[in-house]
A and B are shown apart, each in its own frame.
Chain A
Amino acid sequence: MNRIWPIYSLVRADVLERTRRYQYLATVAVTLLIGTLLVPGRGANYETFLIDGYRGIYNSAWIGASYALLTAMLLSLFAFYNVKSAVERDRTTRVGEIVATTSIGRFDYSLGKALSNFLILASMAVILAVTALVMQFVRGESLAFHPSQIFIPFALVVIPLMAVVAAIAVFFEMVPWLRGGFGNVVYFFAWTGYLVWSVQNDLRPVPWWRDMLGANFVMRQAWEALRRVDPRAGPKSVEIGADVGARVRHFFTFTGLHWSAADVAGRLVWFVVALGIVAAAAVLFDRFSKPARSTEQRRSSAFMLLCRTAAGRYTAPLIDVLFGSDFGAIVLAEFRLLVRGLNFWWYAVAAGLWIFQLFAGGTGQSIAVGLAWIWPMLQWSQLGTREAVYGTEQFIYPTMRPIRRQFVAQWSAGVLLALLTAGGSLVHWALAGNLNGIEGILAGAVFVPTLALACGALSGTTRLFEIAYLVLWYIGPMNRTMFDFTQGAYAPGYTLASLVLFALALAARRVRLQLA
């Protein structure tokens, strides 16, 4: 049988299905917006790529190199979460069960899904490459246009990386424990660890397998070019990403990345790695022999779960709970739903973190707080999404006074969970008489579930919150920046942000109610 035609059809159908969704249009819009932000103007209060206070003038060489570097970093993290749903869609829609009865092989199916992921990622990369081209003229620091200096870094740094990310996304979908939110967390930490590993070592050359993102290659060449201008420029002062408050002290002219045959081979080999990852994914592919529960099963089981949890029995007591005035009972029911299914070890770790927060001091306290705020993330991510995920909107929206009671109760359950898991810190600060510390924890306990609720209500999936929160948690509580929502100093700001997010969540839920 001709193998190209089925793979082509699979890729085509998958790409059409994804690109026709409004989410794709939204992704394109966000990508375009980010593209314009990657080259801040001279009056901006942030910079995206600085070396010891130096920035290359915005010629094709600098724009091409810096855009490729930043695009590689952005897409390899955020776009991974965007594409990690190709197999899940077949599983949840049960189209997969039909696919399983066709003669398409495991490898061909996995390859088709990876190619589909790759095309979506590549389309974002192309949008950013074209934006880079336009932004050179918008900034107007150099009008000498050399398209190869913009497009070659994209072709050799970003595109091979996208192939690997596309393959990893399929691999994660084939491994049951990496499919869901836990896989998202694993990828975030793996990505962060790998990036740090590739650029440490004072930007000395690293083997190809240690520089998948191309970050070492681009940053090293930029730094070496700068050293020819200022030999004192140090490798440890490279700033990359949205560096708020950073200012350019000097400019220099970057003449472009230089590619040896070995450098090109070192990039292209990532396509082979991607194929290897697809092959590994194919081995693990269960051919939908363990399908997701059907919509009806999910609906009925979720409803029964809600019934049992709400009242400890079945429907009749639930009606009393829903239509009576006992708001606390609904909060309790929602709380039980949040923590349902967690095993002994989850509680054991949460208890350990609670004690750690209570007794640790200094750096230990910071670590304890950081860990305590990431541990319940997968529970918070359910807020605002459960009805869409389990298909229970039709049961819940018409009967439960959904905004005034159930939705608010769901949010309250999230706050309750935050207060419990971060309770060690609360007691710690109370014993120390530190009102500022208590304010910080309380503001965080309101802010995080509200962020989860807003993300869930807006997107209908858990993924938006998981991505946004992981990044926020990493740059906030783990790095003690202004994004640390547990710091008392920022409590008023996060309280205000909570109010805005809550209003946004309510508006989103109202829209869903009208559409249901």
Chain B
Amino acid sequence: MEIRIDALNKSYGAVRAVVDFTLRLEPGVLGLLGPNGAGKSTLMRMLATVKKPSSGTIRFDGVDVVAAPDALRRTLGYLPQDFGIYPHLSASEFLEYIGALKGIPRRQLRTRIAGLLDLLNLSQVGSRPLGGFSGGMRQRVGIAQALLNDPRVLIVDEPTAGLDPEERVRLRTLLQGMASDRIIIFSTHICSDVESIAKSVAIIDRGVLLAYDAPANLLHARASLEEAYLSVITGARAAA
């Protein structure tokens, strides 16, 4: 299983959000690091088939997902950075709704929802209206919907936003446990979120891929991934 991104570009008028982005992804966690406005969310939306690129290709197991998005959508889990909910639906009803849209058969879906609510510590509140959920609980519902179809490709944009430290650790462990046979793209600007679980890290700024390597290789002699990240960003900006 692989995703190949070749010479991907996305422009909004004169603004180039993603510039000649090329990357090959295999199972494991890819940590996508970059400052706010770096183009991470635009890249992830293109990978999630929400947005079409201005040019370039995205291939999933050889299939061009820009031309045939359903090839990826069938096996895709996506957690947007800033998503909403239907406040008057319960968590179970909301998950059933999203699961049905993903094409999961009814009986299978019920079992899956029960398992995910349990996994994400939401079983006790599964029948309560989402409108009364805290930010962290909503985020966990978002993670649950992304995992509903047991995706082979999981794209999570800032998934730790709103989670308390215990929940963050639990999410990292969950993603790490899933990563052996899945491609997981984990976007964040918090280096510690990906440092321990990422097989590879891509650093992006102003739409350009600045570095792509294993965390250990990026570290060199630096004390933390955060230092390495800052070094790459400042170096690139100085060169520009």
Q: Which chain A residues have a beta carbon within 8 Å of chain B's beta carbons?
A: 1-2, 5-6, 8-10, 12-13, 16-17, 20-21, 89, 92-95, 97-104, 287-289, 291, 294-296
> In the complex the two chains form, is A103's CB within 8 Å of B50's CB?
no
> In the complex the two chains form, is B84's CB within 8 Å of A93's CB?
yes
Contacts of B99 in A (CB 8 A): 9
> In the complex the two chains form, is A97's CB within 8 Å of B83's CB?
yes
Contacts of B49 in A (CB 8 A): 100-101
Tell me whether B102 is interfacial, beta carbon within 8 Å: yes
> In the complex the two chains form, is B82's CB within 8 Å of A10's CB?
no
Contact check: which of B85, B88, B101, B103 meets A21 at CB < 8 Å?
B88
> In the complex the two chains form, is B85's CB within 8 Å of A93's CB?
yes
Would you give the 0/1 interface string for B82-103, flagging 1 where the beta carbon is closer than 8 Å to chain A? Answer: 1111111100011011111111
Tell me whether B229 is interfacial, beta carbon within 8 Å: no
Contact check: which of A16, A92, A98, A289 meets B78 at CB < 8 Å?
A98
Apart from A95-B84, A102-B103, A294-B81, list 20 A-B contacts with CB within 8 A: A2-B105, A6-B103, A9-B99, A10-B100, A13-B89, A16-B89, A17-B88, A89-B86, A92-B84, A94-B82, A94-B84, A95-B86, A97-B45, A97-B80, A98-B80, A99-B98, A99-B101, A102-B73, A104-B101, A289-B51
Tell me whether B170 is interfacial, beta carbon within 8 Å: no
Q: How far is the CB of B101 from chain A (nearest CB, A)?
A: 4
Tell me whether B74 is interfacial, beta carbon within 8 Å: yes
Would you give the 0/1 interface string for B165-199, flagging 1 where the beta carbon is closer than 8 Å to chain A? Answer: 00000000000000000000000000000000000
In the complex, what residue of chain B is closest to A97 when comparing beta carbons?
B80
Contacts of B81 in A (CB 8 A): 294
Please provide the chain B residues from 52 to 100 with a CB less than 8 Å away from any CB of chain A in the complex.
Answer: 52, 70, 73-74, 76, 78, 80-89, 93-94, 96-100
> In the complex the two chains form, is B86's CB within 8 Å of A93's CB?
yes
Residue of A101, A102, A294 contacting most chain B CB atoms (<10 Å): A101
> In the complex the two chains form, is B101's CB within 8 Å of A289's CB?
no
Q: How far is the CB of B60 from chain A (nearest CB, A)?
A: 13
A to B CB contacts below 8 Å, 5 in the list: A9-B96, A13-B93, A17-B89, A98-B80, A101-B49
Question: A385 vs B98: C-alpha distance in the bound complex, in angstroms?
Answer: 31
Question: A21 vs B83: C-alpha distance in the bound complex, in angstroms?
Answer: 20
Question: A95 vs B145: C-alpha distance in the bound complex, in angstroms?
Answer: 11
Provide the main secondary structure of the chain A interface. helix
Tell me whether B17 is interfacial, beta carbon within 8 Å: no
Tell me whether B106 is interfacial, beta carbon within 8 Å: yes
Residue of B50, B99, B101, B102 contacting most chain A CB atoms (<10 Å): B101
Question: A98 vs B78: C-alpha distance in the bound complex, in angstroms?
Answer: 7
Question: A399 vs B102: C-alpha distance in the bound complex, in angstroms?
Answer: 45
Contacts of A98 in B (CB 8 A): 78, 80, 83, 98, 145
In the complex, what residue of chain A is closest to B83 when comparing beta carbons?
A94
Beyond A5-B105, A92-B84, A94-B82, whether A100 also contacts B97 by CB under 8 A is: no
In the complex, what residue of chain A is closest to B45 when comparing beta carbons?
A97
Please provide the chain B residues from 109 to 157 with a CB less than 8 Å away from any CB of chain A in the complex.
Answer: 129, 145
Beyond A100-B49, A103-B70, whether A295 also contacts B82 by CB under 8 A is: yes
In the complex, what residue of chain B is closest to A99 when comparing beta carbons?
B101
> In the complex the two chains form, is B102's CB within 8 Å of A20's CB?
no
Question: A288 vs B69: C-alpha distance in the bound complex, in angstroms?
Answer: 14
Question: A12 vs B97: C-alpha distance in the bound complex, in angstroms?
Answer: 8
Contacts of B129 in A (CB 8 A): 20
Tell me whether B48 is interfacial, beta carbon within 8 Å: yes
Q: How far is the CB of B214 from chain A (nearest CB, A)?
A: 28
Question: A294 vs B81: C-alpha distance in the bound complex, in angstroms?
Answer: 9
In the complex, what residue of chain B is closest to A297 when comparing beta carbons?
B82
Top-10 shortest CB links A-B:
A93-B84, A9-B100, A13-B97, A20-B88, A102-B101, A294-B82, A17-B86, A101-B78, A1-B103, A103-B73
Q: How far is the CB of A282 from chain B (nearest CB, A)?
A: 15
Residue of B70, B81, B83, B94 contacting most chain A CB atoms (<10 Å): B83
Question: A295 vs B161: C-alpha distance in the bound complex, in angstroms?
Answer: 15
Residue of B94, B97, B102, B145 contacting most chain A CB atoms (<10 Å): B97
